[in-house]
Amino acid sequence: MSWPPGERGAPTTESASLQNTACHDCDSTGRTPCGCSESVPLTPIERNLFRLCERAAVEGRQLEPTERLTQELRAKSNSTVPRLLGSLERKGLIRRRFYQRGRVVEIVATGQATADPPNMQAHWRELRRARHG
CATH of 20-132, one of 1.10.230.10, 1.10.10.10, 1.20.120.140, 2.40.50.140: 1.10.10.10
Question: Using CA atoms, how far apart are residues 33 and 110, in angstroms rounded to an integer?
Answer: 12
Taking only the tens place, the pLDDT of each residue in 102-115 is 899 999 999 999 99
9: left (phi over 0), alpha (psi -120 to 50) or beta: left
User: What confidence score (pLDDT) does residue 66 get?
Assistant: 93
Task: Give backbone dihedrals phi and psi of 98, rounded to 5 degrees, phi first.
Answer: -105, 140
The percentage of residues in the chain with a pLDDT greater than 90, rounded to a whole number, is 52
What does the pLDDT look like over 41-94, one tens digit per residue? 999 999 999 999 999 999 999 999 999 999 999 999 999 999 999 999 999 999
pLDDT, tens digit (0-9, with 9 covering 90-100), for 6-35: 554 444 444 443 334 444 444 443 334 444
Q: How confident is the model at residue 130 (pLDDT cuts 50, 70, 90)?
A: low
User: H helices within the chain, ranges in order?
Assistant: 13-17, 44-59, 66-73, 80-90, 124-132
